[in-house]
Amino acid sequence: MRGLVADMTNLILPRGCAGCDAPDEVLCPSCAALFACVVPFTPPADGIASYACSVYKGATRRVILAWKDHADAECDRALSGAMRVLASQVTRTVTGGAMMVVVPAPSSARSARRRGRRHLMPVARSLAAWYRSMGVRARAVDALSVHAAGKAVETMGRAGRVARVTGSHINVRDAASVRGCDVILIDDIVTTGATMRACVTSLEAAGGRVAACLALASTPKYAVSAA
C-alpha cells in the first residue's frame, strides 16, 4: 500500500534529484558529474583493474542509498550510464576473445527480498549490452550468491537500516556460466574490499578470469589516492 501511494505521489508531484533534491531531475547534471570520475581502489588480487565511478560521500552517498535501499529504479539509467563510461575508460574491449560475463556482487536473499529486486542486475545488463555494442561477446550473469553463516548482524544506521552479514560465504551458483570466461565484477559500494575479495576467490575457483572490478563508489578511506 505504501508503495502504491508512493507511485501515485510520483505521478502527481515532480520528483527531485536523488542527490540534492533539485526539481524535475532524476539526477541533476552536477550530481551526475560526481559519478564521472575514475577512482582507483586497492585491487582484490594482483593484476585486476579496480576502479569506482565516484567517492562515496555527500551527494553520491545519498544517490546510492536512494537507489539501493529505497528502490529508486529511476536512477538505474543514470548509474548504468556512469558504469559504462567507467568501463570504457579502464577495461579493454578485445573482440574475438573469450566470452565476457558481467557479474554483480551478491545481495543476501534477505536484502533482495527487502528491496524487492536485485538492484545491480539492471546495471550488469546495461554494461553487457554496451560490450556487445563494441563487438564483444558478453552477457550479464547473476552468478554469485551469499549464504550467511548464522551470524547476521543488523545495525540501525543514520541513513536507515543497514544489514551487515558477517562470516558470510559467497558461492558461484552455476560454475558453467563463468568457466573460461573473462569476468567483470561489479558492485555498488566498495568499503573494505572484503566482499570483492571473496567474490574473486569464488569466481576464480569456478574457472573464471576476473579482469576488472568496477564499483559505483568507493569509500574515501579505501580509494587509492591518485598520484
Q: CA-to-CA distance for 104 and 95, rounded, in angstroms?
A: 22
Quick one: 70 or 169, whose CB is closer to Zn ion? 70
Quick one: 3 or 29, whose CB is closer to Zn ion? 29
- Closest approach, Cβ 60 to Zn ion, in A, equals 10
**Site track for Zn ion across 19-48, x = CB under 5 A:** xx-x-----x--x-----------------
From the number of C-beta atoms within 10 Å of its C-beta (0-12, 13-18, 19+), residue 223 rates as: buried
- Closest approach, Cβ 20 to Zn ion, in A, equals 3
Quick one: 17 or 183, whose CB is closer to Zn ion? 17
Write out the binding residues for Zn ion, residues 189-208 only, by CB under 5 A: none
Q: For residue 17, state whether it binds Zn ion (rule: CB under 5 A).
A: yes
- Closest approach, Cβ 59 to Zn ion, in A, equals 6
- Closest approach, Cβ 41 to Zn ion, in A, equals 24
Write out the binding residues for Zn ion, residues 91-150 only, by CB under 5 A: none
Write out the binding residues for Zn ion, residues 61-80 only, by CB under 5 A: none
Quick one: 20 or 152, whose CB is closer to Zn ion? 20
Quick one: 23 or 157, whose CB is closer to Zn ion? 23
Give the binding site for Zn ion (CB under 5 A). Answer: 17, 19-20, 22, 28, 31
